[in-house]
Amino acid sequence: MQQLRTSELLVTLPDDGSGPLHGRLEQELRTAIRSGRLAADTAMPSTRALAAQLGVSRGVVVEAYEQLVAEGYLTGHERSATRVACKAVPPRPARDEEPSAPLLEFDFRPGRPDVSQFPRGAWLRSLRRALGDAGNEQLGYPDRRGMPELREALATYLNRVRGAAADSGQVVISNGFSQGLALVCEVLRADGARRVAVENPSHAGSRQAIIAAGLEAVGIPVDEDGLRVDALEQARVDAVLVTPAHQYPTGGVLPPERRAELVAWATRRNPLIIEDDYDAEYRYDREPIGCIQGLAPDRVVYGGSASKTLAPGLRIGWLIVPAAMADRVAAVKERTDNGTATLDQLAFADFLTRGEHDRHLRRMRPIYRQRRDALLAALARHLPALRPAGTAAGLHLLAWLPKGTDEEAFAARAAERGVGVYTLASYRLAGPVDAGIIFGYSGLSETAIETGIRRMAEGEGHLRAAS
C-alpha cells in the first residue's frame, strides 16, 4: 500500500493491481474532493513533487491530473499551480428521512439567553489580557479544581452576590452545570448512594445526568412555592437536587421556612443538597434571595454557570463543594477531561474581577424584565384563559392551560402557525400534573413576543375568553 501525502492531505493509493496506477490515483483524488477533504481552490502539489512522494513516475501523476481537469475536478493554467475546482458534493438525504419540523418564525424556547447581547468587546479585552499575562506554566494542564485565578474570583463574587460561604479551595470548575452535576453524582455513587430526589416537574437533562451515573431519580412534588420539603421525609434518598431561587420550570421561590426545613432535614438525615442556582441573578421584583449553601456549607453542593448570564457556548460552570469531598470531585473532573480550557477560565476571572459581569447583568435585567412584561400583556390580551405562574424572575414563564386542554395538541397547532411553544410533558416524572406551556422570552423582542402570541391565538377561540 503506497501513501500520497501533501502538507494537508493523506490519500491511500491501493497497491492491489486493480487497474493502472493513474486510474487508482484519479479515484483517490476524486473521493478526497467529493468528501471535502480537498476543499475548493486548494493548491495541489506539483506533478514532480507528488510523483516523488508517491514513488511513481511523473507521467502517472500528469495523466491523473489531466483526466481530473477534463472532468472538472481540477483546474490548471500555464505557470500556475493546479487547484481543486469544485466543492464537495453534499450527501443525499435518506429516502426514509422524517419530514422536517415546521419552520418557527417565533420560537419561545426556554433556557436560552439573548446571545446577541453578549458583551463581545469586554470579553475580547479580558481574553487579550488573559493571553498576554499568562505565563508558560499556565498554558499547561490546569489544576484539577480549575485555575486559581478563576476560583478566587468566583468565591469572591458568589460570597458577595449570592450570599455563599466559600473559599477558593472549595470551588471546582466544570464545563457547564450539567458536567458539574455528573461529577457530583459519580462521587455519590462511589460512596454508596442509590437514590437522588428531584423536583417534579424538573429539567430532563438533570434527571438524565443522575440516571447516567447509575442513580435513581425520585420525583418530589412541587407547588407554587417550590419543592415540597415535607414529602422528602418519606422518600429515603441520599441526596436532593433543588432549584430554590427559581424552580425550574414552574417559577416558584422556596420561602425561608422551607429553606430552614430543608437544611434541618439534611442535618438530621445526612443526605446531600445539590443546589442548582441557574438564573438567580435575574430577579425583577426585588433583590435576589441568597443561596442555601450559605446556610449549610457542609451539607450543600452549590452549582452555577455562565450559560444564562452570558452564553451557553462558553461552557463555563462551577461548583462550591463541601471541603470533605472537594478533592474527590476534582479528581473525577481530571479523569474525565483533564480540565476546562485555561484561557477561557483566565478571561472569565478577569471579566469578573473588573466588574464586567456585574455591568452586563445590570444592563440585561431591564431588557429581560420588559420582555417578560410584554409576554404577560400579550397573553392577557390574546389568551386570557392561560394562567401565568411563578415569580418575576429568570428567562422563562409557565402558563397553566385550562383543565382538560391537550397541551401537546395546543403546541402542535402553534407550530403550524410558525410559533414554537413547549409543554410540561418532558419535565414531568410521574403523577398528575396540570397541563401547561413554558414560554422562553429572553431571545425575542417585545414586538416579536406580541406578534407571536397573537399568531398563536388564532383559531384558539375557546381559550380567548377568560375562564
What average pLDDT does the segment 148-153 reach?
Answer: 98
* Span 224-275, pLDDT tens digits: 999 999 999 889 999 999 999 999 999 999 999 999 999 999 999 999 999 9
Indicate the pLDDT class of residue 467, thresholds 50, 70 and 90.
very low
Helix (H, G, I), strand (E, B) or coil at 37: coil
The pLDDT score that the predictor gives to residue 22 is 83
Question: Is 97 inside any structural domain?
Answer: no
Q: Do 331 and 431 fall into the same domain?
A: no
Question: Is 341 inside any structural domain?
Answer: yes
* Span 326-339, pLDDT tens digits: 999 999 999 999 99
User: Last residue of some domain: 338, 358, 378?
Assistant: 358
Q: Closest by alpha carbon to 399, among 461, 451, 456? A: 456
Reply yes or no on whether the pLDDT at 307 is more than 50: yes
Q: Do 280 and 329 fall into the same domain?
A: yes
Residues 6+ apart with CB under 8 A from 34: 88, 89
Reply yes or no on whether the pLDDT at 39 is more than 90: no
* Comparison of pLDDT for 298 and 99, the residue scoring more: 298
Indicate the pLDDT class of residue 8, thresholds 50, 70 and 90.
very low
Portion of the chain with pLDDT greater than 70, in percent: 91
Reply yes or no on whether the pLDDT at 465 is more than 70: no
Q: Do 137 and 252 fall into the same domain?
A: yes
Reply yes or no on whether the pLDDT at 6 is more than 50: no
Residue 130 and residue 346 in contact, taking contact as beta carbons nearer than 8 Å: yes
Give me the number of domains the chain comprises.
Answer: 3
- Other CB atoms within a 10 A radius of the CB of residue 20 amount to 12
For residue 230, the one-letter residue type is D
The pLDDT score that the predictor gives to residue 43 is 85
Nearest-angstrom CA–CA distance, 299 and 62: 73
Return the CA Rg of the chain.
28
Beta strands 317-320 and 300-305: pairing type? antiparallel
Q: Do 139 and 254 fall into the same domain?
A: yes
Residue 405 grid cell: 386542554
- Per DSSP (E only), the strands in 138-295 are 171-174, 195-200, 216-223, 226-227, 239-242, 272-276
Which range (90-99, 145-154, 163-172) has the least confidence? 90-99
- Other CB atoms within a 10 A radius of the CB of residue 215 amount to 20
Nearest-angstrom CA–CA distance, 432 and 418: 30
Q: Do 241 and 304 fall into the same domain?
A: yes
* Span 200-224, pLDDT tens digits: 999 999 999 999 999 999 999 999 9
pTM (2 d.p.):
0.81
Nearest-angstrom CA–CA distance, 375 and 369: 10
Q: Do 29 and 161 fall into the same domain?
A: no
User: Last residue of some domain: 358, 381, 398?
Assistant: 358
User: Last residue of some domain: 319, 340, 358?
Assistant: 358
For residue 379, the one-letter residue type is L
The contacts found for 398-403 with CB under 8 angstroms, 24 or more apart, are 398/249, 398/250, 398/251, 398/424, 398/436, 398/437, 398/438, 398/439, 399/436, 399/437, 399/439, 400/434, 400/435, 400/436, 401/434, 401/435, 401/436, 401/437, 401/463, 402/463, 402/467, 403/434, 403/435
The pLDDT score that the predictor gives to residue 89 is 64
The pLDDT score that the predictor gives to residue 87 is 67
Residues 6+ apart with CB under 8 A from 263: 273, 292, 295, 296, 299
Q: Do 80 and 153 fall into the same domain?
A: no
The pLDDT score that the predictor gives to residue 340 is 95
For residue 67, the one-letter residue type is Q
What average pLDDT does the segment 85-113 reach?
Answer: 74
The pLDDT score that the predictor gives to residue 99 is 54
Q: Hunting for cell 502539489 — which residue is that?
A: 45
315 Cα distance to chain centroid: 7
Indicate the pLDDT class of residue 17, thresholds 50, 70 and 90.
low
Q: Do 229 and 350 fall into the same domain?
A: yes
Helix (H, G, I), strand (E, B) or coil at 66: helix
The pLDDT score that the predictor gives to residue 11 is 64
The pLDDT score that the predictor gives to residue 81 is 81
For the chain, the average pLDDT equals 90
